[in-house]
Amino acid sequence: MKRGWLFLPAHWFAWTLLLICCGLSLFVFVSVDSRSHSASDTLMNWMAWNVVLLASYQLIGFLTRVR
């Protein structure tokens, strides 16, 4: 289901995929934070990963949407 710019989960599998993406984002944050020297290093590197995760999630939503 599309709302504005984002695809929102409408099926249990989509909710599972969203939870996996959130968990992966948290894991990447902890991993990046352990190697960073400052808050800006952490946030810049973490946001780069989040852009990739969000783009992947949106691509999956776009390719599997109900027409």
Stretch 1-28: mean pLDDT: 85
* Residues with Cβ within 8 Å of residue 41, at least 6 apart in sequence: 32
User: Alpha carbon of 21 to those of 11, 49, 51, 67: distances in Å?
Assistant: 16, 11, 11, 24
Domain coverage including residue 19: 13-63
Stretch 14-39: mean pLDDT: 93
The two structure tokens encoding residue 13: 């599998």
User: Which residue has 């894991």 as its token pair?
Assistant: 27
Instruction: Note whether residue 46 is domain-resident.
Output: yes
Q: In this predicted structure, what is the pLDDT of residue 30?
A: 95
Q: In this predicted structure, what is the pLDDT of residue 19?
A: 94
Instruction: Note whether residue 2 is domain-resident.
Output: no
pTM for the model stands at 0.79
Stretch 5-30: mean pLDDT: 89
Q: In this predicted structure, what is the pLDDT of residue 21?
A: 93
Instruction: Note whether residue 1 is domain-resident.
Output: no
Q: In this predicted structure, what is the pLDDT of residue 53?
A: 94
Q: In this predicted structure, what is the pLDDT of residue 39?
A: 92
- Collapsed DSSP state (helix, strand, coil) of residue 6: strand
Instruction: Note whether residue 8 is domain-resident.
Output: no
Report the domain count for the chain.
1
